[in-house]
Structure 1
Amino acid sequence: MTEDDDLSSTTFLRLLLVVFGTLSLVLVLPFFQPVLAGALLAYLVAPINNRLSRRLGATVGALVTILITVIVVLVPLLLILAVAVDQAVSLASGAEIPDLAAVETTVQELLGTDADLQRLLEPLSGAAETGLRGVLGGVIGIVGGIPAFVVGAVIFLFTFYYLLRDGDAFVAWLRTAAPLEPDVMDELIERTDDLLWAAVVGNVIVAGLQAILTVLGFVVLGFEDLVFWGIVTFVLSLLPLIGASIIWIPAVIYLVIVGNVPAAVGLLVYGFVIISGSDNFVRPIAMQRGAHLNSGLLVLGIFGGVAVFGFLGLFIGPVILGLSKAVVDLLVEIRGTSGEIR
């Protein structure tokens, strides 16, 4: 085969790659969320799967890992979410509004001025009704989406299983298929691992701790619907610039309004020092293994990821931006080594 024939074959193969790669992307995109969820979960439990696979074999080890994950993680998580949804519905439908006259008296005593709360709360009644309708519409949408959920669950489980069983083979294939030098490919894989650890494991540890601390504070103060508040605090703690303070600060305001000023002061101090302050101590420990993401990239990656990928974008967005920066850094290193730039 001549050099021209080789060039022609390579060009045609690249054209086929573009065509079939595009078609494959179109096929996968509708199920991108369950595929992504399966990949993230496989990454998290990979250390357990590796130990089991060495003793039981790749197939049995993957099946046992899935069984353990379902029993220890997924089932309790679904039960907690079910309780949180039930408490949210109960909270939305049965929440008691404090007596306005007593609230007005408390506000007047604190501020030393008159306060007509009835007039202030009138616009909120329409907003509350709209919000309740939105919740009911969301419940109806969830019920209508049950068939799609079943399909997504099947794809999630298959993705989870095959990445556990054949994950090492997939990484080895990437090393072979990627047109990169082995040391460059190893560096890229290592940086991807660090980014995933920082975005997934590190942030989840910090958010989980803040949720637990918030719930403990609410237990002492006698708040109800603790599972709901714990889940909401956990999710919001994953977001930069928001965190658990968006939960405990309104709780402080509520305690002031109902006249329980000592409890409000206690929660205020506890919130600043313990709940929000824990971030400064725990995050550096949790991020020791992971990559240190630039704060600007982190914020943009999280909110952009949520806008594009939904909830999973909390973790994937920063990884994508971090990988983009890593690729640029590697290109600069390669060009610097080759003497093109210094």
Structure 2
Amino acid sequence: MQEKLERRSFIVSLLLVTLAFTLLLKPFFTPIFWACAIALIFFPVYRRLMRRFPNWRNLMALLTLLLCIVLVVIPVLFATSSFINEGVNLYQKAQSGQIDLSKPIEQVRQAFPGINALMERVGVDLDELKQRLLGGVMSAGSFLAKNALALGQNTLNFFLMLGLMLYLTFFLIRDGEKLVDLLIRALPLGDEREHLLLAKFAEVTRATIKGNLVVAVTQGTLGGLIFWILGIPAPLLWGVIMTMLSLLPAVGAALIWFPAALYLYAIGEPVKASVLMVYGFAVISLVDNILRPILVGRDTKLPDYIVLFSTIGGLMMFGISGFAIGPLLAALFMAFWEIFMREFINSPKESSA
């Protein structure tokens, strides 16, 4: 009886300490998550290096981390900085009256009068829609300007989080296998289930982040490039926006390049508009239709609608990191239910047979 009481008291204490430690780490959730994700993605590189230089663990882990910084961190920082600068510049011009944001909308309405009749038929007031769009654009610009100022004021905090992420990534790359073995020993779920769940976690994380990012960056780069070739203002800004929108399956960059093509038709640039329209359907959209199922859907084994809803839900709940966390949670949810049905529902039937 005494032993049972001691065991229960210890379990309760263990749960309380674990909860307190989790709350302690809550402010660092984002850098911890991305450290785990980057370590998973770049671990195969480290393993290959270790096969050639088995006695240089620290150096090979550091070399892998430097490769990650060059291929991922620096380009992301550059693109983010350029996006914020161009977005704030555009917002300031619109606020000062140098750019009239309502003019393109009016030009499209005049060039395509059928849009007015179609919108009226479905009960949409175009003037109200225009005001909402303009209000949304100005709110987004104001939000971007305020956050750019806040980011400048919190530069130390930003680089602290970045440094913590890279610091943790180094140890996860170097000691990842030992930590996974320790986790399997510690979790009371059964080794076979734990191996399955951890494998699913690694598989979905790699597929989602690599797949979604490759598709998004490819679409954004192609979109920004054609905007630059056609002389559309702020191609880098629109390229980054297309990259961000491409993280959403079934939505993507068409939300930018299709209205841009309509606008080119409206201002009397049919050649440029046709080039952009053909390029959008034949090149930008084709990237999504070909690469996403190969890089994301095939590896995660998730239906497209699950990927879409989990991605949107993840973005709403976790911010930009949600494009990876959402599908990951969906995959773990399905993996847990697969284990449950296999072991707790199918097994009794099979044993009775």
Instruction: Give the structure-1-normalised TM-score.
Output: 0.85
Which position in structure 1 is the counterpart of 2:255? Answer: 246
Question: Equivalent residue for 2:113?
Answer: 111
Any stretches of 5+ residues in structure 1 without a counterpart?
none
When residues 83 and 191 of structure 1 are mapped into structure 2, their CA distance, relative to the original with a 3 A threshold, is same
Q: Residues 316 and 214 (structure 1 numbering): CA distance in 2 closer, same or farther, change over 3 Å?
A: same
Rate the CA distance shift 1:60–1:221 in 2: closer, same or farther, 3 A.
Answer: same
Q: Does 1:28 align with 2:11?
A: no
Q: Which amino acid is 2:313 matched to?
A: G
Distance 2:184 2:129 in 1: 63
1:172 and 2:181 aligned: yes
Question: Number of paired residues?
Answer: 337
- 1:143 aligns to what SS in structure 2? helix
Corresponding residue of 2:143 = 134
1:52 aligned onto 2:49: yes
Alignment check: 8 A CA contact 1:35 1:159 kept: yes
Measure, in 2, the Cα distance between the counterparts of 1:321 and 1:83.
33
Match for residue 321 of structure 2?
312
Structure 2 matches for 1:239-318, cutoff 5 A? 239-287=248-296, 290-318=299-327
Shift in alpha-carbon separation, 1:270–1:33, aligned structure 2, 3 A: same
Rounded Cα–Cα distance in structure 1 between residues aligned with 2:204 and 2:322: 14
Query: Greater CA deviation, 229-238 or 152-161?
Result: 152-161
2:337 matched to which residue of 1?
328
Of 311-320 and 58-67, deviating more is 58-67
Shift of 1:319: 0.4
Conserved? CA contact 2:87–2:237, under 8 Å:
yes
Other-structure match for 2:86: 87
Change (3 A) 1:224 1:184: same
| Structure 2: distance between partners of 1:317 and 1:147 | 29
State the shift of 1:245 in Å: 0.5
User: Aligned partners of 1:201, 1:154: CA distance in 2, in Å?
Assistant: 22
CA distance in 2, matches of 1:170, 1:113: 59
Closer, same or farther: CA 194–137 of 1 in aligned 2, 3 Å? same
Q: Percent identity?
A: 28
Q: CA shift at 1:105, angstroms? A: 7.9
Match of 2:119 in 1: none
Aligned to 2:74: 75
Cα offset, 1:239, TM superposition: 1.1
Cα shift readout 1:39-68 (whole Å, capped 9, x = no counterpart)? 111111111122233415322221222222
**In the alignment, is residue 13 of structure 1 matched against residue 10 of structure 2?**
yes
Residue 5 of structure 1, CA deviation: 4.4
Note closer, same or farther for the CA distance 1:140–1:220 as it changes in structure 2 (3 Å cut): closer
- Alpha-carbon deviation of 1:32? 0.6
Does the 8 A contact of 2:243 with 2:253 survive in 1? yes
Deviations 1:132-162 (A, max 9, x none): 4433322222223223223312321222122
Is 1:63 matched with 2:62? yes
Q: Kindly report which structure 2 residues correspond to 1:173-212, keeping only aligned pairs within 5 A, or say none.
A: 173-212=182-221
1:327 to partner: Cα distance: 0.8
CA contact (8 A) 2:107 2:266 kept: no
Greater CA drift, 229-238 or 8-17: 8-17
Cα 1:135–1:185 change in 2 (3 A) is closer
Opposite residue 29 of structure 1, the aligned amino acid is K
Instruction: Could you tell me which runs of 5 or more consecutive residues in structure 2 were left unpaired when the two chains were aligned.
Output: 117-125
Separation (CA, whole Å) in 2 of partners of 1:108 and 1:30: 51
Offset, 1:238: 0.5
Report the Cα offset of residue 181 of structure 1: 3.3
For residues 9 and 53 of structure 1, do their structure 2 counterparts lie closer, same or farther at Cα, with a shift above 3 Å needed? farther
Moved more, 172-181 or 71-80: 71-80
In structure 2, the CA distance between the partners of 1:22 and 1:257, relative to structure 1 (3 Å rule), is same
- Higher mean alpha-carbon deviation, 204-213 vs 279-288, is at 279-288
The Cα shift of 1:104 comes to 6.6
For 2:283 and 2:135, how far apart are their aligned partners in 1? 37
Distance 2:65 2:191 in 1: 32
Q: Secondary structure at the match of 2:242?
A: helix
Give SS of 1:51's match. Answer: helix
- For residues 19-52 of structure 1, give each alpha carbon's deviation from its aligned partner in whole angstroms, at most 9, with x where no partner exists: 1011011101111111111111111111112223
Correspondent of 1:225 among 234, 240, 246? 234
**Relative to structure 1, is the Cα distance of residues 278 and 122 closer, same or farther in structure 2, using a 3 angstrom cutoff?**
closer
Q: CA deviation at 1:110?
A: 4.9
